[in-house]
Structure 1
Amino acid sequence: MRLELKAKGPPRPKISLTQKCRSKTKAFTRAFKSEQYIKTPWLCFVFGACAGAGGGGESLWTDTGVDDLAHLSIKAKKKSQSRFYMLCEMQLSSIGRHDNRKALDTAYRKSIREFNERVDENRYILRRLIDCVFCGAFQVVLRGHDESTESLNPEMYRSLIDFVSEIDLAVKQYLSSSTVFKGTPKTIQNDILDAIYEVCKSEIQKEITNAEFIAIQADESTDCSTIQQLVLIIRYLHDGKIFERFLKFIQPKGYTAEVIAAEIVKELDSLNINKNKLIGQTTTELPS
């Protein structure tokens, strides 16, 4: 029945409908024109709903009918943009189509379930690896010179993962069976650190956006290879408390006042920080 209705399409009856109207200056008669079927293909009885593609909707179109010719086009346009009409059209277009997923429903659902289980497992392992990256809070070196499994003085990160695998059977099984991602190479460590940094940076950016005022501190620091770095620290007021957050290590092209100022402005722009909020700037062992 539905396929037959869809194949025939909506009816196009000849309607002799007139309506006398009056404006402030003159009287005139409006008439229904067949061209309206071209502008509004579903016009007769909301064809999508009549074909059984949907239910509900406004009784004005599906029961009582519209007799206001003066506003017919406006009401038809509004109806075409309604949720009910769009739902009817979508369901009407699906009539007669064969859904292959129904024939393969069992296999399809099984593949989705197995995929979700793998995602949950990977997230669990990743959380454990992230938990192992806490060395910076205790000023402990993350990596060592000898990262082999036979090393008598292994790196801290690798030692922590080995310790977690001894008390967490899921981690131990994953590390012993995984051929793609084990979490121990330095590239994985760096990727985890980068991901943590981006999340922290995003949260700091949200707090800075809501802060009324901010202050910047620029310090000079030297890493273990005696390379000078510019350290940016930001202070702001959030929820009535003063926060001091590390932003970034920067290796500027020089240490003149102009270069340092340009680096600070560049970092503020990358965080979309309104520079009008900046009320203080301090430097340590840097040109001012």
Structure 2
Amino acid sequence: MKKKKRIKELGPDRPYLQIHQQSSDRGRAYTRGFSSTSYGKRSWLAGCDVSHAFYCFPCLLFQSPGTKRCGQQQGIAEQLDEGYRIGIRRHNEELALRGHDESETSDNPGIFRGLVDFVASLDFENATVFKGTSKTVQNELLDCMLSVVREHIIQEARSSDFLSIQPDETTDIATQCQLVLVLRYIDAKSNVQERFFEFIPLHSTTADSIATALKERLAVILPEDQKRKLISQAYDGASVMRGTTAGVQRKMQDVYPNAHYIHCYEHQLNLIMQQATSHIPKLPIDYRQSDGTSTAVPSIQCLSTERTSSAVFKLYETQVTLTLLPSERQEPLPCCWRIRILSFFLQLFHNIMPHVDLLYAKLQKDDIDSVHIRGSIQQFQQDIQKIRNSLHSLVDQSSEGGSQPKKQRSLSPEVHERIAAEVCDTVLRHTLERFPFTDHLINATLRQADRFEQYKMVFPEDALSRTLKAYPVLDGSKLKTELSLIYCKEEFRACCGALDLLQLFMENNLEEVFSETVTLLKILVTTPMTTAEAERCFSTLKRIKTFLRNSMTQERLNALAMLSMKKRLLTEMTDFNQKVIEKCASQKERRANFIFK
């Protein structure tokens, strides 16, 4: 052992060996030789100039009689230990519960068979009665799991003070219209939760069909005496959803009068960028890369309406040679000026899109609230205004190194600056119009930390009266007293957003002292400003219900989607396994009762 320790301290011997091997491939013979650089790439490699061979250094130190060296020929399955092979079986697939081949020799039997084999290797490996691999047993277990998770979510929703919904619809691979229902509420630990509840199949996408499906599910979640808890409903802005007379939101408000309508702010920001790019002329230009390939440049209209600006960044930062498309060479506008126009607008949107991406990223957070969003939108407006004020220097920079062609007044730097100003003005104007924070959203202005000094001098009576009108559950006089005290305290101004202030009250046991303010904060936090979680559910739907699994039943789809999207919830439920076992055992008689007389 001492010799082995000494050898380990010295490290592997790495002599320069000239080893050559004759090989052939597809009828062509060649000679392979060893390179000394292999020592640096493989730290375990050791050589011997006596035997003129290579060895694995750990194997030389720790090999015992009867074991095989790693250099000997053996299969991959033999080289992997038992624990690693179990890990591969468990994580071979993410969502495909059943495999195409579930036999014992299958390399990809599916998640369910893999878990059964894993448990069997620990407990009843030699069982001859229960195998648990039938489709019926799988579906029963999935139904029990889904039922347990739903009961937990319903219990959390009923115990919360307020509830919001985020419905959205899409079409799956089997051309079946699916309506997703996402619930948003504050749990017992004062954390905001957005829970996927169900995929609901629809026979039609009319307002009546969608509203009826939502009312049926909400009747299960909220009892008759808790209808006041539903305070908001967020949609993507489709006409069938937002209609004020016959839309889904109107039909829902007839039953749930406190359910105020929210138009998803992400969709509205996308519409703002579409309006901004409508002022830019189309310039059919392609770019030629270093390898000679030529690709058409997408129009600025397409690049800017994407929710990410990767296309703008890639085209701007990549060093390419722009050339005129062959179909457009007969037009009077010179090629160099077409390229210069495109470069100018690429520079403009290269400055704008980072701020758009930053606002998108903030809107997609689960714990975002209306107070935080209002501050982010104001910062976005300030950033766009700075770009608007610096357009003159941007135009001067783009016009350097070239002269204006004759009889081409439309290409003057003044025209460039005018179009760029229209783009910025459109973004600013539509931002004010689409994000006004009026009506029921005006309550966000009561919690703006940057206005506390102003509110300390002049209390916002108008905003308070509108908030009380939108939410009658609040006590106006007590809320005014509590807010007046909050405006005077410096420690409350440091809280960023309504959620931080709510958690501050809860951690310091101040919910009874500021009872009305806590209620207002819960309303602010529970109100969803986007439908990002519903969009994420659609991504999971596409991964689960694929072309090869398009005949999946609705119950199985909901169960797999719930297990996939709420993995953290399952780990937090310490009694999840026990509840599933009890529910599965109580569903029906699984063993005959023999009575002897």
Smaller-chain TM-score bracket: 0.3 to 0.5
- What TM-score results when the alignment is normalised by the length of structure 2? 0.23
Which entry has the higher C-alpha Rg, 1 or 2? Answer: 1
More helix by share: 2
Give the number of the structure with larger relative contact order, counting CA–CA contacts within 8 Å between residues 6 or more apart. 2
- What TM-score results when the alignment is normalised by the length of structure 1? 0.46
More strand by share: 1
